[in-house]
Structure 1
Amino acid sequence: MNLQLQDLLLVTAVVVIAALFWRAHGIRERALAVTRRYCERQELEFLDDTVGLERLTLDKDRHGKRRLTRIYHFEFTVTGGERYSGRTYVQSGMVQRIELPPHRYTPPPEQLH
């Protein structure tokens, strides 16, 4: 079997692209798990059980270096009738913050009286 340089470059490119997709999938799964737990702690209903990549951007980290930041969009509800959009920010594979817009708060039934 005689591999040429072109064949080797093609195989290398395919492996690199597959690795990038695998990493992106892992980062998305991490964002999904953290967002789900965050909504549970905030007593919010995490809708559709998914996060979707909204955009990629370069933001500064806490040391002032520019890093690739993934911003994921998700939806939640408090009352069951109104949908709100939140965002999960992931930088260097770690969730940095979750942002929620102002939303209606409904206290649990035992706190009403």
Structure 2
Amino acid sequence: MPWAEVLSLLAMLAAGALWWDSFKSREAGMRAVRAACAAEDLLLLDDTVALASLRPGRDDEGRFRLRRVYRFEFSDTGDNRRDGQVTLLGSELVTLHLPHSNRSPLRSVGTPDEEQNRPFPRLPS
């Protein structure tokens, strides 16, 4: 088998692995956002998250992971749009930011010290 074919096959496999990892991370982000909006009685608009940033990072054990930041929109009154963001390292939730709304005080979630006070369960990896 010529080297060009081998390299092409490896490139396709790497692209497929990146796509699959991105799909799993996006689903983990959607679960976190849905849970946070349900806990705070907010309306998740468009029922989706959009990738805003993708860069390399390391987890607590020093392993290489992709750090993804997703943006989404929600409404606290039903008549407005507010921007939020969720950050994942691999498929693990790092932070979820919902700006303060007019109805209830919202908080940023994600540091290990606050793990006991999370309004939603930790996501599986």
TM-score of the pair, normalised by structure 1:
0.79
Structure number, greater radius of gyration: 1
Contact 2:37–2:43 (CA under 8 A) maintained in structure 1: yes
For the pair 1:74 / 2:72, whether they are aligned, the reply is yes
Among 40, 49, 52, the alignment partner of 2:50 is 52
The reply to whether residue 28 of structure 1 matches residue 21 of structure 2 is: no
Show structure 1 runs of 5+ residues with no match. 107-113
* CA distance 1:66–1:103, shift in 2 (3 Å): farther
Other-structure match for 1:15: 13
Cα distance, 1:55 vs. partner?
1.1
CA shift digits 1:57-84 (9 cap, x unpaired): 4567567888642110001111100110
2:90 to 82, 89, 92: 92
Identity of aligned pairs, percent? 31
RMSD: 2.2
- TM superposition score normalised by structure 2: 0.72
Distance 1:16 1:55, change over 3 A: same
SS of aligned partner of 2:34: helix
Task: Give the unaligned 5+ runs of structure 2.
Answer: 105-125
- Partner of residue 38, structure 1: 36
Q: Distance in 2 between matches of 1:30 and 1:36?
A: 10
